[in-house]
A and B are shown apart, each in its own frame.
Chain A
Amino acid sequence: MRALNRDTLIAILLLLFCGLLAWSSLHIRLPGYGTLKPSTWPQIIVAVLTLFSAIYFVQSLSYPSADGDKGDDRKPGLGGFLEYFRNPIICFAIYFVFLATLPWAGALIGGILLVFALLTVLGGWTPRDLVRHAIYATVSMGFMWTLFTFGLRVILPEGEIFSIR
């Protein structure tokens, strides 16, 4: 059997997603008032999305797409994928850690650490780089924090460690 191409796989995932949403739309509470039911509009959209996904599925079987960033310099397999998307994956992971630790570190400290980590991962970690990145992170986040806190009067998340917003 021929291996599934990427578009076919996405189309199948989309169809499964549509199935899940269609099932969920059947459980939307009906309030007993109002003429347009709360489930009608989502059901219309799910039906349309299902139709488009089905067309996409058929199309993917007939004409495998050449679209998208396949990356000419990308090696095959999971290792190649991880190597090719190394920077975005690490950035998303750092951002995840920043958000997870936000209640503890706060916007200022967490933000400085976020920028420092991002710059160091992306730009290198020679001693000179580390100093430069620390300065960039402190100055840029300090400026943003001051601007939002005092200029725009936004109460940014306060950290538990130093109780600094």
Chain B
Amino acid sequence: MEHIFAALAEIATVHTLLLMSAGAIAGLLAGAIPGFTIAMAVVLTLPFTFSMTASQGIATMIGVFVGGLSGGLMSGILIGIPGTPSSVATTFDGFPMARQGRPGLALGLGVWSSFFGGTISAICLIAIAPQLARIGLEFQPWDYFALVFFALTITASLAGKNLIKGLISGALGLLIATVGEEDINGVSRFDFGSDYLQEGFAFLPVLIGLFAFSQLMGDIRNPAEARRSLVQTGDIDIRIEHMKAAKIVLSRWTNLVRSSIIGIFTGILPAAGSSISNILAYDQAKKASATPEKFGTGTEDGIIAPEASNNATAGGSLITMMALGIPGDIVTAVMLGALLIHDVVPSPSFITEAPVLAYSIFIAFFFANFLVLFFQSVALKLFVLVTKVKMYVLAGIILAYCGIGVFALNNIVNDMWTLLIFGVVGYAMRNLGFPLAPMILGVVLGPIAERWLARAVALSTDMTNFITHPWSVFFLTLSLFSMGFGIYQRDRGKKVWPFYYTPLMVLALTPAMFMMEGFIRPGIGIVMVAGGLYALYRAHQKAAEFKPAAGESA
């Protein structure tokens, strides 16, 4: 309890709340502007956090994160273009409702659903993460390495359409992190005799170069589009109908809770972020509705479901980051990087080792939802102003800011060169169809993986330790299935074998459960065997009934 009060004392200061408010407004704006992603907004916030304490820095970034998730609804509802992929489903009913002359209510429903979804997930974060983190105390270096290895295999899921390009991108990220002097022995690697390479690449310039710099280049590539205003729309003068919307959202509490749970669960799963959860929640709301035919015409449930779920996803992804120390998506990867910059090494024992900081993150997430709700009307007015700015003006100024921002990290000009180099690399990779998210994951996780491998080998060179420690077995088994996840996604609904994927994964995880001490976990193992066998039987039935589409072979 004293940790919670200590964390509250850190976050509930005027200074921190002001920083979080600025972050929330910036996030709301970034989320609202089509073409600007939440990840980019969080990345660009990083340089400002250097002079702050770790808890202030992370709290500011959480403000941006939550703001970004809520901001997407503004453009989605008002102009029919989702500001971020997490608000795609909001446009299905939000935009028609706005066109029917009820934009204030549509915005209100989105704002309040986001608030309640975020609050529900904040409560789950505070309740679940510390319980999950207790498992971390049992971890030994072999288990840690297996866990980080599992996180690395997520790159297969982040690869998108082209699996092999995603895997190459992830491996290149790992490679970037090996350049220069290594932490363990201080030996220089891949420096080719250059002092610049001997220093290695700092995380932030690589990140901003790959992500922000290259994206801005993409935004201004077409000269005609670069000279257009951000959004082609007239003046917007709308008042958000708060009271009416809040009542409607609360009256649809089943949809609200269901969508929030979908969001939290999707967030906990690595590599499944808010871009997926909002569509899943919309789909479930439609299936559960008594009037599914009204979906797509401006129904209230069609706005509540995606907005509650996308904000709830943030809490879910923070659970994975806090309890296990692994990033589930690019935003949490950036946050882990921010923690590293503040000399905090994220790991499963993070909550136990740095409880005040951990609880500060929980409380900041909780507060962020209130701040975002409070500043939504302010952000709406700013959004209208920003829409009048031409893309090239914004891009030019942000490019200059990127340079100054990365310089602030170590006060060395070499970091600015790194920014330019990785800006070129990122832009080339984007144009060649290589996804950047796996690369960022590789850059963040590579050094952590090597550190745990070194510790494991230093304790014992016996490699069988990796298959005799239950958590190591658990995560290595999970890694095997994670590596096949990309192919599973590709073949799902087209071939027979994906029916067996989940039941087999559940069954394959049971040996690790039986290796664990006590009665509860082997008991869970028995339940998993029974559930897995039943699921296998059901999968077999479904497979027998399955007819592949024309042109596909089963």
Contact = CB atoms under 8 A, between A and B. Distances in A.
B164 A156 contact: no
Given A28-B189, A114-B400, A144-B400, A10 B411 contact: no
Interface in A32-71: 33-36, 38-39, 41-42, 45-46, 48-49, 52-53, 55-56, 59, 65, 67-69
B182 A38 contact: yes
B454 A36 contact: yes
B461 interface: yes
Contact of B171 (A39, A52, A141): A52
A38 B164 contact: no
Nearest to B162: A67
B223 interface: yes
Contacts of B431: 68-69
B286 interface: no
Nearest to B227: A123
A143 to B, nearest CB: 9
B165 A99 contact: no
B121 to A, nearest CB: 32
B423 A92 contact: yes
B420 interface: yes
B494 interface: no
A134 interface: no
A41 B174 CA distance: 10
A122 B164 contact: no
Contacts of B167: 52
B403 A28 contact: no
A105 interface: no
B220 A24 contact: no
A107 B404 contact: yes
Interface in A126-164: 136, 140-141, 144-145, 148, 152-157
Nearest to A33: B185
A154 B411 CA distance: 7
B535 interface: no
Nearest to B52: A152
B413 A91 contact: no
B220 A34 contact: no
Interface in B11-53: 48, 50-51
Interface string B73-110: 00000000000000000000000000000000000000
A46 B454 CA distance: 18
Interface residues of A, number: 65
Contact of B185 (A38, A53, A87): A38
The secondary structure that dominates the B interface is: helix
Nearest to B222: A87
Interface stretch (B290-298, B325-333, B340-348, B390-398): B390-398
A96 B457 CA distance: 44
B270 to A, nearest CB: 20
A115 B397 contact: yes
B458 interface: yes
Contact of A42 (B190, B218, B413, B458): B190
Nearest to B166: A52
A118 B168 contact: no
Contacts, number: 177
B352 interface: no
B189 A39 contact: yes
Given A91-B399, A122-B392, A148-B408, A42 B223 contact: no
B432 interface: yes
Nearest to A95: B420
A2 interface: no
Contacts of A154: 51, 407-408, 411
B154 to A, nearest CB: 15
A97 to B, nearest CB: 11
Contacts of B396: 115, 118-119, 122, 136
A31 interface: yes
A86 interface: yes
B430 interface: yes
Contacts of A86: 223
A88 B165 contact: no
A137 to B, nearest CB: 8
Given A65-B162, A144-B400, A144-B404, A38 B184 contact: yes
B417 interface: yes
A133 B288 CA distance: 54
A24 B190 contact: yes
B547 interface: no
A68 B396 CA distance: 25
A45 B174 contact: yes
B407 A107 contact: yes
Interface in B221-244: 221-223, 226-227
Contacts of A24: 189-190, 192
A5 B192 CA distance: 31
A112 B171 CA distance: 38
B523 interface: no
A80 interface: no
Nearest to B181: A38
A140 B389 CA distance: 14
B185 A88 contact: no
B393 A111 contact: no
23 contacts: A24-B190, A25-B189, A29-B188, A34-B185, A34-B458, A35-B457, A38-B189, A39-B189, A42-B189, A55-B164, A68-B432, A87-B223, A88-B218, A102-B416, A111-B403, A114-B403, A115-B399, A122-B223, A123-B227, A124-B227, A140-B400, A144-B400, A153-B51
The 5 closest A-B pairs by CB, nearest first: A67-B433, A68-B433, A118-B396, A122-B392, A38-B187
Interface of B: 48, 50-51, 161-162, 164-165, 167-168, 171-172, 174-175, 178, 182, 184-190, 192, 217-218, 220-223, 226-227, 390, 392-393, 395-397, 399-401, 403-404, 407-408, 411, 413, 416-417, 420, 423-424, 427, 430-433, 446, 449-450, 453-454, 457-458, 461
